[in-house]
Amino acid sequence: MRNLLKFTTFLFLILISLFIVDTALAVCSDTDGGQDPYTQGTCNNPGQAGSPFTDSCETTSILREWFCNEEGMCDSILFDCSAIGGHCDNGICVVPTGGEGGGGSVGGGGKLGSILTKIKDALKSLGYIVCVIFMIWGGYQMITSSGDPTKFEKGKTTLLYAAIGFVVILLADAIVNLIKSIVGG
């Protein structure tokens, strides 16, 4: 009976780990690198209903621009192409002079910001995977301890630290945003 309980616990940990990995890998991506009204892009998040979303013209002057928000979900804004002397055509703002206009900035951190966001998201996904591996390892150590309290405690500690690491990664964006708001950045 005791072995059955250990086996059931181990299976439960594996199922939770698979759910966590699946959730961690559902990463938002945007082919135009963020809020770029001059390039048609597609925002994709496998875990979001209705995804993918492609930049499109709402009217001849209004562009619906899709991007990945801070929560990792596809979100959109409406951009008035006429404010920069242009019009919306095929999901992009077209400026007749060929320039990008003086008032066309829509934020989003530019290309460097987009690259850094992709690196951050990849590192977070890797962190989630490492945490899940250590959770499985900690559970395995506990199950195979064969009544040895030292081995059982070692597995319990591994599992605890992996869980703490998971929570820290999960809250990383919120912690950074909190620090920014306190510092004023």
Helix (H) or strand (E) holding 8: helix 2-25
- Is 91 a residue whose pLDDT tops 80? yes
Q: How many CB atoms lie within 10 A of CB 149?
A: 8
Instruction: Return all residues near 17 (Cβ < 8 A) that are at least 6 apart.
Output: 132, 135, 136
Beta bridge partners of residue 30, listed in sequence order: 43
Per-residue pLDDT tens over the stretch 27-86: 778 888 888 888 899 998 877 888 889 999 999 999 999 998 887 788 999 999 988 888
d(CA 134, CA 1): 26
Nearest residue to 37 via CA among 128, 98, 106, 96:
106
Does the pLDDT of residue 8 top 60, yes or no? no
pLDDT of residue 5: 54
What residues have CB less than 8 Å from 119, skipping those under 6 apart?
none
Q: Which residue ranges make up each domain of the chain?
A: 2-26+118-183, 35-107
pLDDT at 104: 39
Residue length, the chain? 185
